[in-house]
Amino acid sequence: MGNIKVMNENLANKIAAGEVIEKCASIVKELVENSIDAGSTKITVSLNSGGLKGIKVSDNGKGMDKEDAILAFQRHATSKLYRDDDLFFINTLGFRGEALPSIASVSEVTLKTTQNDEGFLVHIKGGKILEKETCEATPGTTINVENIFYNTPARLKYLKSESTELQNCTNYIEKLALSMPKIAFELYNNDRNIIRTSGSGNLAKVIHELYGSTISTRLIKFNVSSDDFDIDGFICKPDILKASRSHIITFVNNRVVKNIDINRAINDGYFLHKPDNKYPVVFLNIYTDPTLVDVNIHPTKQDIKISKLNELCELLTSNIKIFLEKALLVPEINLETKEENNEVVVNSDFINTRNTFELVDNNIDETNSNEQVTFDFAVEEVNLEKEKNEDLKKLYLEPIGSIHGTFIVAQNDEGMYLIDQHAAHERINYEKVLKALEEKDIHTMAMLFPISIELSPSEYLTLKDNIEIITNLGFVVEDFGINTIIFKETPTWLGEGHEEEVIRKIVDLIVGEKKIIDRVKFNENLVRTIACKMSIKGNTPMTLEEMNSLLEQLFETNNPYNCAHGRPTIVKFSSYDLDKMFKRAMT
């Protein structure tokens, strides 16, 4: 007798559950996506102890009849695919027919659904139907999941704490609400409201409902198209950055996805506006022909493959750069007044890089849900035709002094501005060096006293392997004895007074890298470092004429808002906020 046998359906479902159901958020994801596919306009998720003790999802969708309610718990039973060709035209979030039977095989599930004013109940535990009967008719479908992983203790022990499971569920509902702004979502934990969105169809409003004014007031409307892709949504001004990529939120045809290449392309678009270890806040929906997308590569359906991915990434990176260059990116200091003691507090959210998890109690009166509500968010529409830095030039800043020889103080009718003189000068020098390197002929200047650099044998070999980096920058070098390089001429863009400091830093970067894998990124970091070393330092006094010249040069750069390393060059204190600070304005 052979050893190979066909496993029973319940065992197969338990195995499938190990792929589909990894945590409480996986159950929430599958059930809510089914509700979306059912045409729901309102979906409520109720968790007990973060989902560990129970998950209930209710919707107002089209529901199911008796036969479909029972059949839905059979493996690979689906209403979304019928033919092989349908795999190439998937327009629903679910389609595999694995979620419900997988959930039911490792938990206790009660389903109540109504269609044509007829209610039906199915009660399943461990994959076995305990009840199937008529029940009261209520709109849509409600699924209650309890005793999760009760019969698979190996999976149960991998569930996290209540707070972690709640955070995972909340995070996913946030993303679904953003991908489907026309659907009203509610999330409760232990009867406490965590999320409530209006289903208004206005993505900016949903962003405000979820993240508040800190982000919603810094949105830039983003809309670009090519022959194969339409991209719509919002990018956030780079004065709001996060410590991880978790706020780069993307959708493909309204499906929440995680794609390393897309995230990298978006991050590269912000490359000149932020430090390397910080990441932007972005909400983008990518629309394309379903035939260009393969969502059937993983049971969670979040990891996808996209044809013409290089074209998409280039479209994202190049246009994000353009939109940021055209937007006014001067961070504004916001002052908050504590009512209990009228204390004024400076809110520097524009440099807040904490990635914390906060539960917001959005208690909204449902009886007034149809009334017009004014939300504190402002979306900037970027005019791609306007002159570079046109808005910034219109500020007409007048330098009036400096603080500690480090921060230039300027003013206009709108308020006071602080400019980091080193960051501003670094931006000017960075673009100056880049422009010089783009020229075919780099002019050089002989050094009165050539600079020799003595190296160890291994360092010398590394430098010689990458000597073209130095010559491409415009330096003229020769061997000078054993393991020694002498610099005889420098490019004219370097100017006087910085030669030795810059040369030694270039050598240190090259020999420290040992093996340069990405030459483009290395050259970019090298130019950043050179610009930094060439720039005026802090605690260096400047005359008003020098300050004015610095500002004029800054406003002519491609990105006057950040230094080459992504730090802000300029911040604003509005006249109103200054009045609040000194209690000249009390509201």
Q: What is the pLDDT of residues 480-537, one digit of tens each?
A: 989 999 999 999 988 788 899 899 999 998 998 877 767 777 888 889 989 999 999 9
Are 136 and 231 members of one domain?
no
Q: Which residues contact 392 (CB under 8 A, 6 or more apart)?
A: 328, 330, 555, 560
Q: In the listed set 386, 416, 448, which residue is the last one of a domain according to the structure?
A: 386
Q: How sure is the predictor about 202, in pLDDT bands with cuts at 50, 70 and 90?
A: very high
Would residue 577 count as lying in a domain? yes
* Domain harbouring 497, CATH code: 3.30.1540.20
Would residue 85 count as lying in a domain? yes
Report the C-alpha gap between 123 and 69 in whole angstroms.
Answer: 10
Q: Which three-class secondary structure state does DSSP give residue 85? A: helix
Summary mean pLDDT of the chain? 83
Are 505 and 584 members of one domain?
yes
Are 284 and 427 members of one domain?
no
Helix%, strand%, coil% for the chain, nearest 5: 35, 25, 40
Report the C-alpha gap between 189 and 24 in whole angstroms.
Answer: 13
Q: How sure is the predictor about 328, in pLDDT bands with cuts at 50, 70 and 90?
A: confident
Task: Flag the least confident range among 83-92, 378-387, 416-425, 537-546.
Answer: 83-92
Are 314 and 407 members of one domain?
no
Report the C-alpha gap between 267 and 386 in whole angstroms.
Answer: 25
Number of domains in the chain: 3
Would residue 4 count as lying in a domain? no
What pLDDT score does 280 carry?
95
Would residue 82 count as lying in a domain? yes
pLDDT at 299 over 70: no
Domain that holds residue 59: 9-192
Report the C-alpha gap between 104 and 505 in whole angstroms.
Answer: 63
For CA atoms 305, 309, 313, 319, the dihedral sign is negative
Report the C-alpha gap between 236 and 329 in whole angstroms.
Answer: 10
Nearest to 226 by CA among 312, 293, 323: 312
Are 561 and 453 members of one domain?
yes
Q: In the listed set 353, 386, 419, which residue is the last one of a domain according to the structure?
A: 386
Are 187 and 248 members of one domain?
no
pLDDT tens digit sequence for 271-292? 888 888 889 999 999 999 888 8
Greater confidence (486 vs 386) lies with 486
Are 345 and 490 members of one domain?
no
Buried b / exposed e along 173-197 (16+ C-beta atoms within 10 A): bbbbbbbbbebbbbbbbeeeebbbb
Would residue 550 count as lying in a domain? yes
pLDDT tens digit sequence for 108-162? 999 999 998 999 999 999 888 999 999 998 899 999 999 998 887 777 777 888 9
Q: Which three-class secondary structure state does DSSP give residue 241? A: coil
Are 376 and 396 members of one domain?
no
Are 452 and 558 members of one domain?
yes
- Residue 260: φ, ψ to 5°: -60, -40
Are 225 and 148 members of one domain?
no
Residues found in the chain: 587
Q: In the listed set 386, 410, 438, which residue is the last one of a domain according to the structure?
A: 386
Q: How sure is the predictor about 377, in pLDDT bands with cuts at 50, 70 and 90?
A: low
Report the C-alpha gap between 76 and 16 in whole angstroms.
Answer: 11
pLDDT at 344 over 70: no
* Domain harbouring 325, CATH code: 3.30.230.10
Are 122 and 233 members of one domain?
no
**Global pTM?**
0.73
Using the structure block, give the residue that is written with the tokens 């027919």: 97
Are 127 and 224 members of one domain?
no
